[in-house]
Amino acid sequence: MHPTPIQTHSAPAAVGPYSQAMQSGNLLFCSGQIGLDPATGLLVPGGIETETRQALENLKAVIRAAGGSTTDIIKTSVYLTDMADFATVNAIYAEMLAPAKPARACVAVAALPKGACFEIEAIAQL
């Protein structure tokens, strides 16, 4: 079985040579999502809270396009440009992904695409 690219207009187009997600069998590998507005392709204003909410909405849209939901997420990786945002991100993450509690890694990075302060990628089992 060959991997199938997943594409939706409900999430921002990829900002590079990659797919929003790739499905292989019942596994969905979602590329990183930052807080881009799908309609404009621009980073949403407002900082960590609005970026986190938008990135999670983008991730949800990609997973829905493959026929899944947040309860199908088994692993996420979160990238922050400032670990001082950890508690804020945790609260929004818990709210928006409830009741799912996937395995997760969270790391600080020097920079993210388009000047974002939050990025999330995920693996889901559909």
Strand pairing category for 73-80 and 27-33: unpaired
Catalytic residue, chosen from 14, 61, 100, 106, is 106
What's the chain's length in residues?
126
- 30 labelled catalytic: no
Question: Active-site residues: which are they?
Answer: 106
